[in-house]
Amino acid sequence: MCFDHDSRPPDLPAERVRHRIAGGAGHELLTVTSADGTEFSAALAVAPDPSGPAVIVFPDVRGLYRFYAELAQRFAEAGHHAIAIDYFGRTAGLGERREDFDYMPHVMETRPRQIQADAVAVIAALRERVGDVPVVSVGFCFGGTLSFLANASPDVPLDAAVGFYGGLDTSRFKIPSPIDVAGDMKAPVLGLFGGADQGIPAELIERFERALADAGVEHDIHVYPGAPHSFFDRKYDEFAAECEDAWRRVLDFLQTIGAPA
């Protein structure tokens, strides 16, 4: 398992908090309809004082777990409207996912094109609420891979893509590797990886970076020496500095994309 059930997003750097949101009112659970008629859940957090692009959050294999609903709230507190999506409307119905959710059979039924169609629908739903804002995807683990792949899709209107420890050897899930579609990526990329992540060896990260460079894709790939997979977690005191640095890198990257119109 690449995460713990008690995982929570690290706090924002203090100077990046624009507006603190009360915990119980941090997000709204939406039901969104994809192009094929599938209904799926998404957690929307509206920034009281927006200052940059909106964020679509691609979760890890758990789908819309509480970590990612809370993460959407953290982005809103930093000035970014955010919406975290669930992957499993087609196979598991609606709702936020709990600790007892048996996610892997549903993960194996997901397909990037379906998730990309869901992303298109959720971006439209977001813009209905907050206006025609730029949108950046931010994904984690399985979702990091999907964030990179969405950036290569001509259908998903992204202005940039961020991946935390997004898998680059995707044969297990029988989906394309971001390395192989780097030439199709249309927007800047930020990739954050753990140097001690046994599932994403340095050789693959280097291949991904070379593929982006060869394709002329603006990119920033950063590896945290000694950090494991899923290091972005509040309870990892020994990686608090890496978590804070990752927050700063992501928020600085978002500011390069542009502010809402």
β-sheet bridge partners, residue 219:
189
User: What pLDDT score does 49 carry?
Assistant: 84
Give the start-end residues of each E strand in the chain. 28-33, 39-45, 54-58, 82-85, 135-140, 160-164, 189-194, 219-224
Give me 110's structure tokens: 């997901």
The answer regarding whether domain 30-255 maps to CATH 3.40.50.1820 reads yes
Q: Which residue in this structure is represented by tokens 């039901």?
A: 31
Helix crossing, 142-151 with 112-130: angle to 10°?
80
User: What pLDDT score does 167 carry?
Assistant: 96
Local mean pLDDT, 10-residue blocks, the chain (261 residues): 77 90 72 97 93 96 95 95 97 94 94 97 96 96 98 98 96 92 98 96 98 98 96 88 97 84 45
DSSP code of residue 97:
B
pTM of the model: 0.95
User: What pLDDT score does 7 carry?
Assistant: 86
Closest CA to 220 of 233, 235, 208, 203: 208
User: What pLDDT score does 24 carry?
Assistant: 47
Instruction: Tell me the backbone φ, ψ of residue 26, rounded to 5 degrees.
Output: -75, -25
Q: Domain residue spans in the chain?
A: 30-255
Q: Which amino acid is at 22?
A: A
Q: How far apart are CA 160 and CA 255, in angstroms?
A: 11
Q: How far apart are CA 185 and CA 22, in angstroms?
A: 37
User: What pLDDT score does 22 carry?
Assistant: 63
User: What pLDDT score does 261 carry?
Assistant: 45
